[in-house]
């Protein structure tokens, strides 16, 4: 049985997948299996995945006939893993050579359920900026609750936001399976997965070494207009509410609903004014007005004024609270022209 199972969802990734797989093969830690999930690809990715697997018995390919999204792909692989610990890797990213060995030894040395590392934000112009999870050290249950669960629950506005990137962590398969923790949805699914998992993990070891290379792609899903964003965000909040109830998190961040809804509102406004939205400027303005009038958003607007957000978001907050929707629309039109 391998020590670590690495899961990679693959969709239309023929430009990246070989380099991704090679970064796993080049690990200084060799006791791993790699599960590549062909999520109904229509490009050359399936053949490339099969070619990679043919040269290494530790690599397995799971082919899906239809694209079901990243959550379904990860869940399929989770059911097939044999390793005691689980790591995630995106098809357009790469591990540093010592990533798995460092995480394994870190976890082992601390007798921890999990280990975490910093990562490098890699921009198309070659700029690389490290981003840490937490200060290096060992965290017990309360430390995890305050350092990971609390910011994911209700600190979604002030910068820097704690990013819910699952690929920075090594997860216990025993915890995942015994608690039935899986993914759902195509947006913010990482945050809920992390929150649920770290409500049960008892010890976390952290290094500030950046061991994962995260390549920011302007064409990725997070930068595109999402016509169903409100439905997706609504389901996210439903699941978050259920998670809070199951794990007695209500008092951890008393205004977590308002904070989360404001964060969702700011994203929804940006999404409504995105270039890919075919609506007219007037239609977009009416949609934003209706969005702000929704009961959960209206409560958040009235109860909380976001602090610590970027200058652009501070301006949006002022305009929303003052109901200056025409001005907001014109500013976004100007931004999009630029």
What secondary structure does DSSP assign to 225-267, as a single string?
Answer: --TTHHHHHHHHHHHHHHHHHHHT-TTTSTTHHHHHHHHHHHH
Any idea which of 151-160, 185-194, 219-228 has the lowest mean pLDDT? Answer: 219-228
**Residue 88: strand, helix, or coil:** strand
- pLDDT of 175-193, one tens digit each? 999 999 999 987 789 999 9
pLDDT of residue 55: 82
Q: Residue 35's beta-bridge partner residues?
A: 7, 60
Return phi, psi of residue 68, to 5°. -120, 0
- Pairing type for strands 169-172 and 114-122 reads antiparallel
- Mean local confidence (pLDDT), 270-293: 96
The Cα–Cα gap between 160 and 308 comes to: 9
Return phi, psi of residue 231, to 5°. -65, -45
DSSP result, 100-116: HHHHHHHHHHHT-SEEE
The number of C-alpha atoms within 13 Å of 38 and in the hemisphere containing its C-beta is 22
Does the pTM surpass 0.85? The reply is: yes
The Cα–Cα gap between 10 and 40 comes to: 9
Mean pLDDT score across all residues of the chain: 95
Banded model confidence at residue 218, pLDDT cuts 50, 70, 90: low
pLDDT of residue 187: 78
Map out the domains of the chain as residue ranges. 4-215, 255-337
DSSP 8-state code for residue 223 = G
- Mean local confidence (pLDDT), 140-156: 97
> What percent of the chain clears pLDDT 90, i.e. is strictly above it?
94
Class of domain 4-215: alpha beta
pLDDT of residue 185: 84
pLDDT of residue 186: 77
Under 8 Å between Cβ of 319 and 328: yes
> What percent of the chain clears pLDDT 70, i.e. is strictly above it?
98
The Cα–Cα gap between 143 and 51 comes to: 44
DSSP 8-state code for residue 145 = I
- Mean local confidence (pLDDT), 296-319: 96
Name the residue among 130, 150, 246 with its Cα closest to residue 191. 150
pLDDT of residue 219: 54
- Mean local confidence (pLDDT), 251-276: 96
Class of residue 338 by CB neighbours under 10 A (exposed 0-12, middle 13-18, buried 19+):
exposed
- pLDDT of 16-53, one tens digit each? 999 999 999 999 999 999 999 999 999 999 999 999 99
- pLDDT of 47-94, one tens digit each? 999 999 998 999 999 999 999 999 999 999 999 999 999 999 999 999
pLDDT of residue 221: 46
């Amino acid at each position: 049985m391998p020590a670590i199972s690495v899961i990679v969802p693959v969709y239309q990734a023929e430009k990246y997948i070989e380099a991704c797989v090679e970064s796993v093969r080049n690990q200084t830690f060799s006791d791993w299996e790699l599960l590549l999930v062909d999520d109904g690809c229509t490009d050359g990715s399936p053949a490339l995945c099969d070619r990679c697997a043919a040269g290494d018995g530790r690599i397995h390919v799971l082919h899906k006939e239809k694209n079901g999204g990243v959550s379904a792909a990860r869940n399929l692989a989770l059911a097939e893993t044999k390793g005691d610990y689980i790591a995630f890797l995106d098809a357009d990213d790469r591990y540093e050579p010592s990533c798995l060995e460092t995480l394994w030894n870190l976890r082992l040395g601390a007798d921890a359920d999990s280990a975490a590392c910093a990562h490098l934000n890699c921009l198309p112009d070659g700029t690389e900026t490290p981003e840490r999870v937490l200060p290096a050290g060992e965290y017990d249950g309360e430390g995890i609750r305050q350092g990971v669960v609390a910011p994911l629950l209700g600190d979604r506005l002030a910068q820097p936001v704690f990013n819910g990137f699952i690929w920075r962590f090594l997860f216990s398969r025993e915890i995942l399976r015994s608690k039935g923790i899986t993914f759902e949805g195509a947006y913010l699914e990482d945050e809920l997965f992390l929150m649920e998992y770290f409500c049960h993990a008892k010890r976390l070891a952290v290094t500030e070494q950046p061991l994962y290379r995260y390549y920011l792609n302007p064409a990725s899903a997070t930068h595109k207009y999402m016509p169903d964003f409100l439905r997706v965000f609504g389901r996210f909040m439903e699941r978050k509410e259920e998670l809070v109830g199951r794990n007695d998190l209500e008092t951890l961040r008393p205004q977590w609903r308002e904070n989360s809804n404001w964060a969702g509102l700011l994203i929804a406004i940006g999404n409504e004014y995105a270039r890919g939205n075919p609506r007219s400027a007037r239609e977009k303005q009416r949609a934003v007005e209706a969005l702000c009038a929704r009961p959960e958003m209206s409560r958040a607007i009235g109860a909380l004024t976001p602090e610590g957000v970027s200058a652009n978001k501070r301006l949006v907050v002022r305009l929303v609270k003052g109901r200056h929707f025409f001005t907001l629309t014109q500013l976004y039109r100007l931004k999009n022209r630029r």
